[in-house]
Amino acid sequence: MAKYLLQRIASAVLVLWIVVSLTFVLMHSIPGGPFSREKQVPEAVLKNLEARYHTNDPLTKQYIDYMVNVAQFNLGPTFRYEGRTVNDLIKDGLPKTATIGFLATIFALGGGLLLGSIAALWHNKTPDAVATFIATIGISVPSFVMATFLQYYLGYKLGLFPPVGWNEGAWRNLVLPSLALGAFPIAQITRLMRTSMLDVLNQDYIRTAKSKGLPGYVIIGRHAMRNALLPIITYLGPFFAYILTGNFVVEFVFGIPGIGQFFVTSITNRDYSTIMGMTVLFCSLLVVFNLLVDIAYTFIDPRIKLTSQKGA
């Protein structure tokens, strides 16, 4: 196990290095720099700016400097927000993004597993149709449309929840963004869970459990659910990636000052250090999530071994 973890961490570091380098190259191949605005900046000012942010250094030096800083978790100053570092932006924004992401995860996982199981248990009956209908809507509407509809109907027309704003994280402000972010994954999870649950329910061991006279909740909870969960765990990797990047849309629509906004604005602003910082952050999070998912496998399914055994 320890050896496996070390291996995975080493390969994660390698992946991050490649990704950061690739982003560096791509970013610098975009025409225009962080200080090219519509209004031309005077020559002398531009020189000073470039000297201050070291953008006039040769690219190789910039690259090495950046790598050394990243290794010390220092993502550098932003080009766009005067006097703030990328670390500051992340420190301010990440908790908000994480809150929404966490709530959306609970909503999507809880709701998806429940809806999927219900659909499978009442296969081809009304509950199945209802669950499938909900799942179908979730995958067929783009997230920004979903967010706008929720905002308009639940927030603006019915006035159930505030349509915009963060408001120091009051729970009423969190409901709509979490629903909007979770709408797509809940649909995916429902579909996956339905298929895998149907599959499991037809297995012999379920019939055995029934014929032993086990009560229904034990059959479902202990035998069916645990086995049906496996395909869901495979989906968790892409799921977290979606929650991470999907946040941009949701934060934009609901006006939440998280980090998702920087994801896009920093690219169009040529804010090199912010975009690099975002890349590092998102990729590291994703790598960590994927590792956790792989480890979670072994707990849910003891048949899966992380380290390959001899003769197995």
Partner 1 sequence: MKLAQNLFEPAISQISAEHINRPSTTMMQDAWRRFTLNKLAMAGLVTLAGLIIFAFIGPFIIKYNYYSNDLMNTYLPPSWIHPFGTDALGRDSMARLMYGGRVSLAIGFVSVLINLSIGVFYGGISGYFGGRIDNVMMRIIDIIYSVPDLLYVILLMVVMGKGGLLNIMIVLGIVNWMGMARIVRGQILALREQEYVLAARTLGASTARLMLKHLIPNALGPIIITSALAIPSAIFMEAFLSFIGIGIQPPFASWGSLAADGRLNIPSYPYALFFPAAAIAITMLAFNFVGDGLRDAFDPKMRK
List of residues contacting partner 1 (CB under 8 A) = 15, 18-19, 23, 26-27, 29-30, 136-137, 139-145, 148-149, 152, 156, 198, 202, 241, 244-245, 248-249, 252, 263-264, 267-268, 275, 278-279, 282-283, 286-287, 290
The total of other beta-carbon atoms located within 10 Å of residue 142's CB is: 10
User: Phi, psi at residue 254, to the nearest 5°?
Assistant: -95, 5
Shortest reach from residue 202's CB to partner 1, in Å:
7
C-beta closer to partner 1: residue 29 or 72: 29
Residues counted in the chain? 312
- Chain-centroid distance of CA 277 in Å reads 16
Residue 188 phi, psi dihedral angles, 5° rounding: -60, -45
Closer by beta carbon to partner 1, 134 or else 198: 198
Residue 184 beta carbon to partner 1: minimum distance, rounded to whole angstroms: 9
Q: Of 244 and 256, which has the nearer Cβ to partner 1? A: 244
b/e map 144-163, b = 16+ CB within 10 Å = eebbbebbeebbeeeeebbb
In the complex, minimum distance from the CB of residue 48 to partner 1, in angstroms, rounded to a whole number: 26
Q: Measure the CA–CA gap between 147 and 33, rounded to whole angstroms.
A: 33
Nearest distance from residue 151's CB to partner 1, in Å? 8
The letter for the amino acid at 286 is: L
Q: Which residues pair with 77 in a beta bridge?
A: 85
Instruction: Supply the minimum distance, in Å, between the C-beta of residue 43 and partner 1.
Output: 26
Residue ranges with strand state E in 206-291:
none
Least distance from C-beta 144 to partner 1, angstroms?
5
Sign of CA dihedral 186, 187, 191, 194: positive
32: tokens are: 């225009």
* CB-nearer residue toward partner 1: 195 or 214: 195
CB closer to partner 1 out of 42 and 121: 121
Question: Closer to partner 1 at the Cβ: 214 or 295?
Answer: 295
